Structure 1
Amino acid sequence: MTTTANVTTETSPGFSPLQAASRDHLWMHFSRMAPLQERPARVIDHAEGVYLYDDKGQKILDGLSGLFVVQAGHGREELAAAAAEQAKKLAFFPNWGMTTEPVIRLAERLAHEAPGTLNRVFFTSGGGEAVESAWKVAKQYFKLTGKPMKHKVISRMSAYHGTTQGALAITGLPAMKQAFEPLTPGGFRAANTDFYRAPEHGDDPVAFGLWAANRIEEAILQEGPDTVAAVVLEPVQNSGGCFTPPPGYFQRVREICDTYDVLLVSDEVICAFGRHGTTFACEKFGYEPDIITCAKGMSSGYGPIGAMIANERVMAPFLEGKNFFPHGYTFGGHPVSAAISLVNLDIFEREGLNQRVLDNEGALGSTLGKLLDLPIVGDVRGDGYFWGIELVKDKASKQTFDAAEREFLIKQYLPDALMDNGLYCRPDDRVNPVIQVAPPLISGQAEFDEMEQILRKTLEDVSALL
């Protein structure tokens, strides 16, 4: 037993003192806590490049960039130095009516990188706050422009957009919302772009894309165009395992939004900053939104930061008279995180990380595609450095696993087995069972091969058990 002030930690067999402290005091995110009372949590001690090292010394390939975050890789001394330098000069000042130089410089840089007239940058602490801000600004925008009934949001089935009450209402995952009902009213759903499970469209992705986009129009008409403020879509949908946009999909969505005077929000919390080979993924997929939400890769995870970037149309009424946006966060536009992000974007330019992704995305996809020879692998899909591997019980029929099998496969077996075999990635069954892979942008063929080999061994092992 160890005691500090009024806190007592009970040591027990199999737990190091640090693991015991974690068990007794740390409430982890998105984690079942009961098993962690009996089984020690793995502690990641340090990282370098594309590798993590736990406190037992095991070397683990980071196949998820932390959480779609560490674009430039781990252990970047110049990013740590940027944080220290800014902290020494000015560690904190709020972004309320006054501001700081790194925040101004970062806003200017993001505006330069964003398409069209998306010139106005509202900083947040992270991605969920950016989505929350986008919905709030959309509602107020229409109130200020004489359309006060426009307040609803259309998003896609099974999409994830954050955990705050507003962002959760935009999220399309019922199981994630049930514990927190009633949520902010106004969130409605349309079809996603899961082409793997769209047999009625055969092998025609263009027809499927048009069908999926038209479901958004259908939702707007169902709710009434005079009540819908925004459509919120990820360029590549995360939840469900990397649903990519079919050709022409976003162009049709843009047309629909223009027809009914609805703001198009590109939720790029995961997809921005090189994940798909461009600073903002909307550029790659050929559409210009009214608002971009982003976070994660902006600082490569070396400091918490997010942003909502709006175009001049959205900003215009807020520049009139006494109008203002009554919304903000203490740490939104933190000077240390902004300073880190500026240096991170310098690394992107100097090392050509966006182009590196474009040059290597085909190799990553084809390497992971080798797994399709396994009976348990039904589909491998993705774009850039963001890929999903869908697991199936029967490949011919695309039959998925039942609840007990999913529990064993995704919750009990794969997370530990993959880590024990030397790979950190993401088994996920919020929709159908998938493994998500999103390596740091500095990764290349050697890392792709290592991921494929570890995935192959782990999936062969679990197939034998199933």
Structure 2
Amino acid sequence: GYHGSTMVAAKLGGFQGMHDQVGTEFPGFHHVQQPHWFDFGGDKTPEEFGLEAAAAVEKKILEVGPDNVAAFIGEPIQGAGGVLIPPTTYWPEVQRICRKYGVLIISDEVICGFGRTGNWWGFQSLGFEPDIVPMAKGLSSGYLPIGAVAFADHIIKDFFELGGEFYHGMTYAGHPVAAAVALRNIEILEQEKLVDRCRELGPYFAQALASLRDHPIVGETRSMGLIGAIELSSNKAKRSRFKDSGRVGTKCRDYCFKNGLIMRACWDTMVLAPPFVITKKEIDELVRLARVALDATYADVKSEME
């Protein structure tokens, strides 16, 4: 999970830069290897690697002690990390492990929630059932800031039956205007069947991105629904990275901007999240402009190719 740049939330996430920024160490937070096959899969199939990455969760639970682990938190797809789509074997196995040891699952749906992966929730697309679900961005489609947390029945039941106080008041909690915008946003998603549209366009978007795999510096393309990524590589056969992580990605991003395409660079991973109302014709244009930017980038770094 990534979301939150405040001290505790930053420590929960996996960005070392944020850890360094907030400084103070917090006890009780433990991290495991991210399930990113491109960088860490080696010679294993994605399915084999997914099980291996999930096994790291069990290993960590046993290392810390099951009675000391409250929950496992993660994004179904790690968005800001570079749209890291785990192998299909990963999340179901993580769920099996967590249920085995009585560990709650928290699915960070800030990016994946409200249709981005082709279902209302990322956990539906990845095949698991969480106990707690934080959400934000898609709740209002970004028109106004708002976030929420959903709890499974068996969790919320304890709030009522165990009694005591749960102090969670915040200055702008329950803001009526933001709540009204969120409700209307959800109505539009339902009325215009935008989540269905995202799911239906997903295969076309994936195929369009895949057409870039013949490019010399494209090591992999991947997507789910309408979120995707293009991996830049100095040797696609070895899945090698360029030196000075982020340098080539930033170069490619700048060429994208120059040619009228908004694309984010997460180090040397190019990230795309087009609007749900995009058309097939516009997807074709998106990919055409991406190739123009990739060509320009390749011309600059050709001498660095392995």
TM-score by length of 1: 0.62
What does residue 304 of structure 2 align with? none
User: Do 1:272 and 1:279's aligned partners in 2 also have CA atoms closer than 8 Å?
Assistant: yes
For CA contacts below 8 A with separation 6 or more, give which structure has more relative contact order: 1
The reply to whether residue 186 of structure 1 matches residue 28 of structure 2 is yes
Contact 1:305-1:337 at 8 Å conserved across structures: yes
Contact 1:235 1:267 in 2 (8 A): yes
- Partner SS for 2:70: strand
* Structure 1 residues 255-276: Cα deviation after superposition (integer angstroms, max 9, x where no partner): 2112212110011100000101
Taking the aligned partners of 1:216 and 1:407, their CA distance within structure 2 comes to 29
Once the two structures are superposed, residues 312-364 of structure 1 have per-residue CA deviations (whole angstroms, 9 ceiling, x without a partner) of 22222321465121123211221111111111111111111111111110110
What residue number does 2:264 align with? 426
Assess, with a 3 A threshold, how the Cα gap between structure 1 residues 407 and 345 changes in structure 2: closer, same or farther. Answer: closer
Larger proportion of strand: 1
Q: How does 1:26-41 map to 2 (within 5 A)?
A: none
Change (3 A) 1:324 1:400: same
- What do residues 205-230 of structure 1 show as CA deviations (whole Å, max 9, x unaligned)? 33222211111011111111111111
Deviations 1:279-307 (A, max 9, x none): 11212222211001111011111111111
Cα separation, partners in 2 of 1:170 and 1:393, compared to 1, 3 Å:
same
Tell me by how many angstroms 1:440 deviates.
0.7
Aligned equivalents of 1:359, 1:190: Cα separation in 2: 34
Pairing 1:160–2:2 present:
yes
Contact kept, 8 Å, 2:11 with 2:18, in 1: the verdict is no
Q: Following the alignment from structure 1 to structure 2, what is the Cα–Cα distance between the partners of residues 374 and 229?
A: 45
- The answer to whether residue 249 in structure 2 is matched with residue 410 in structure 1 is yes
C-alpha deviation, 1:370, in angstroms: 1.2
Label 1:415 to 1:197 Cα distance change in 2 as closer, same or farther (>3 A): closer
Deviations 1:403-422 (Å, cap 9, x if unpaired)? Answer: 1xx454234x3343222211
Q: Which residue of 2 aligns with 1:259?
A: 100
Deviations 1:112-132 (A, max 9, x none): xxxxxxxxxxxxxxxxxxxxx
Match of 1:401 in 2: 242
Query: Number of matched residues?
Result: 301
Give the 3-state SS of the residue equivalent to 2:124 in structure 1: helix
Contact 2:255 2:296 in 1 (8 A): no
The percent identity for this pair of structures is 37
Tell me how far apart the structure 2 counterparts of residues 361 and 269 of structure 1 sit (CA, whole Å).
Answer: 19
* Equivalent position to 2:272, from 402, 422, 437: 437
Task: Write the distance in 2 (CA, Å) between the matches of 1:271 and 1:365.
Answer: 17
With 191-200 and 417-426 compared, the bigger mean Cα shift is at 191-200
Match of 1:419, as an amino acid? F
Letter in 2 for 1:161: H
Q: Which runs of 5+ in 2 are unaligned?
A: 302-306
Contact 1:165 1:183 in 2 (8 A): no
> For the structure 1 residues 259 and 407, does the alpha-carbon distance in structure 2 shift closer, same or farther, using more than 3 Å as the test?
closer
Contact kept? 1:241, 1:389, Cα under 8 Å: no
RMSD in angstroms over aligned alpha carbons?
1.7
Q: Within 2, Cα distance between the matches of 1:199 and 1:167?
A: 28
Look up the equivalent residue of 2:300 and give its one-letter code.
Answer: L
1:460 aligns with 2:295: yes
Task: Kindly provide the amino acid, as one letter, of the partner of residue 180 in structure 1.
Answer: V
Partners of 1:325 and 1:224 lie apart in 2 by 26
The structural deviation recorded for 1:445 is 0.9
Is 2:151 the counterpart of 1:334? no
Residue pair 1:169, 1:185 contacting (<8 A) in 2 also: no
- Alignment partners' CA distance in 2, 1:328 and 1:213: 35
Q: Partners in 2 of 1:241 and 1:322 — Cα distance?
A: 42
Q: In the alignment, does 2:187 pair up with 1:352?
A: no
Cα gap change, 1:246/1:329 in structure 2, threshold over 3 Å: closer, same or farther?
A: same
Question: Aligned partners of 1:174, 1:443: CA distance in 2, in Å?
Answer: 35
Q: Is the 8 A contact 1:243 1:382 kept in 2?
A: no
Other structure's SS at 2:282 match: helix
Residue 62 of structure 2 is aligned to residue 216 of structure 1: no
